[in-house]
Structure 1
Amino acid sequence: MDQIFPNEIAQLIHRGTLVAINHSGGKDSQAMTVYLERHVPAEQLVIFHAILPDADWPDAADHIRTQHPHLPLVTTRAKQTLLELVDRRGKWPSMRQRYCTSDLKRSPIATTLRAFMRDNPQFNNLLINALGLRAEESSSRAKKPEVQLDQILSKAGRTALTWHPIHLWSEEQVFEAIRSAGQQPHNAYERGYRRLSCPFCIYASPSDLARAARDHPELFEKYRACETRNGHTLSISGRTLEETIARAQPTLPQAA
């Protein structure tokens, strides 16, 4: 499981750089945090989490606090919710225009990181932005370099690198890292969800969308109404949420 850090990362960690852990509450973020806790001084680790009302799992921040009680957690949230953004744009995010990620996660966290660096001069404007992206998940993620300069955050005297510490890990390694730390992944995985992205996500499988409709009926109604208002479907297939879920429900196991 252990690996040698890339040289530029090892050098920055040795210099006391802040390692900002981007944590969604999902398994990859959790396994990455376990790994970093083992190999980076605790005083250099801070978890950052973007809260997404009416989009993300409402207990994600609580799960993070429970599993990593010894690390500071800084939360942030965008000025608008996803449904408000969809109503303003008249369409849902797409694989080419993932404004949900940029507007609701990356941008608010970047703003919070800038403020955190200003308030914590002991890190000497040195930042490692750690994300739990894995090559196994998609061809686009496989193409991402393990380490690269963060152009957005490397301003105003800051030097910032983006780092994917578990880029080459398998899903099996991810769950093993969590188990070996005596932790539990978010309970959504036990209920059959493959990913802990937003319950109603453009990347969610039909079965996960059906599970989300079963587990979050009030939120499902909000998303269904948003589709109707804007005449645009969340699913890239062009089917409405109702149609997608109706196709998946006959093969969906009953909730425990």
Structure 2
Amino acid sequence: MTYCVAMRLEEGLVFVSDSRTNAGVDHIAIFRKLHRFGVRGERIIVLQTAGNLATSQAVITRLQHQIQSNAERNLHNVATLFEAAEIVGECMAHEIQHVTGLAQSNEYDFSSSILIGGQIKGEPPELYSIYPQGNFIAATIDTPYFQIGESKYGKPILDRALNYHTPLDKALRCALISFDSTIRSNVSVGTPLDLIVYRANQFNLPEGRRLYDTDPYFSMIRQQWSDGLRSTMTNLPQPPDDYWR
């Protein structure tokens, strides 16, 4: 399984992805699901993938080949992130259609979902969620984040603590706590986590960071979050007697 979250905020963009894949309890592996493209000083584009691993890898490889061959339309020469999302959607729809045609039965799920975000010079930062069919939607001020994969455990934290005006440092903390809740509740999501934080209008290519369970900061906030929840629960007012009669 997978969990990825991406945020488009007033100050910039935050991307965090887990790296666990599994095909049954006896076949668990680590694969990177966060991929960075860009031209320093001119554009940064980040992709996050969930779903069928073979489909996701094929899409990323096709996008890389388009750049290397200087295709007429590729992630390094389109004028807008909307066009970049179109290219990714077209690649994904093509790959799914191709492998589905080769399959001898319909029992396999070849679908994949992709988040794409970034900024191209002259345009504001943008974030899109691309469906397996190749169409997509954009993040807005009212809906500043997207999730793909195992999203339900981490969503309540983001809904309560995050909005478009949230500073990047607080947004990253929200994302990491969202992952902690997901990891605790679903063994198919796990570390290491890959993250990239991009401040708007910088047009740099941040290397990002990989977080393991032993990362001091990640370990600290996970522990503080757990302790804080237990403390808050203990200090909540006792329910009235008629609640349990």
The normalised TM-score by structure 2 is 0.34
Higher relative contact order (CA 8 A, sep 6+): 2
More helix by share: 1
